[in-house]
Amino acid sequence: MDKATIGGLVMGSGLLLLSIMIAPGSSFASFIDYPSAAVVIGGAISACGIAFPIGALLLLPGVLKKLFMPKQQELRPVITQLVEFAEVARRDGILALENKADSIEDPFILMGIQMAVDGTDAELMESILRSEIQAVAARHKTGKALLETMGRYAPAFGMIGTLMGLIIMLGNMDDPEAIGPGMAVALITTLYGAIVSNLFCLPFADKLAYYSRKELEAREVILRGLLAIQVGDNPRVLEQKLNTFLPASERAPRDSAA
């Protein structure tokens, strides 16, 4: 569970609610308008339906799930595992890694180990693994683009809803007492659009971009480790190479212990 995402949503929503509570003469009821919400949310989703194929839209539930329950891969355990595989390959031969297949949970590592055991050419192995990384990056890009598109169109539909409200209000100018409430309802749609865009969609897209960078970084570490194992690099040299991906605070104690 991503505590930062949840904490940010709670804090942002709480500040908005607190502002409504402490503002003189305001009430929650005056900020609730279902037609306005339908225009903003429905309009943003409709725009995504026009901009993306149905297959991309079906990715949205999984994208939202990843925001709250990400599967982050820590680099230190990955490096440790790759170094252990390098030690086995150097000591017992690379075919000995076939016995480790059942203990490998990461499918990307498993695919690389299987290719190494099968004697796949280093260049071909790198090409296949990099193609897999590029495919992951493309999927991440699509999920991020979905949220960015919704964040871009939500304020526009908020403005459209406001214009619609103003047209309705101006059509009823014969009732002066209804002008004030009508103006308030018209402006609520713009408010909804700004909130949906700046509290939800765009921050979600930025969080996805962060997770994407971390996952691609982990896969790059794995790729380099697998290629080094295949060519028979010294395990200690391999560890030093892969440790460069870690912050100094994480690798210094292990280096000093070595």
Q: What is the pLDDT of residues 99-143, one digit of tens each?
A: 888 889 899 999 999 999 998 898 999 999 999 999 999 989 999
pTM for this prediction? 0.84
What gap in Å lies between CA 157 and CA 192, rounded to an integer?
9
Which residue type is seen at 55? G
Length of the chain: 258
pLDDT at 251: 66
What gap in Å lies between CA 122 and CA 131, rounded to an integer?
14
- What does the DSSP 8-state code read for residue 100? G
Pick 186 or 107 by higher pLDDT. Answer: 107
The DSSP string of 36-90 is: HHIIIIIHHHHHHHHHS-HHHHTTHHHHHHHHHS-----HHHHHHHHHHHHHHHH
**Structure tokens, 221:** 């570490």
Phi and psi, residue 245, nearest 5°:
-80, -15
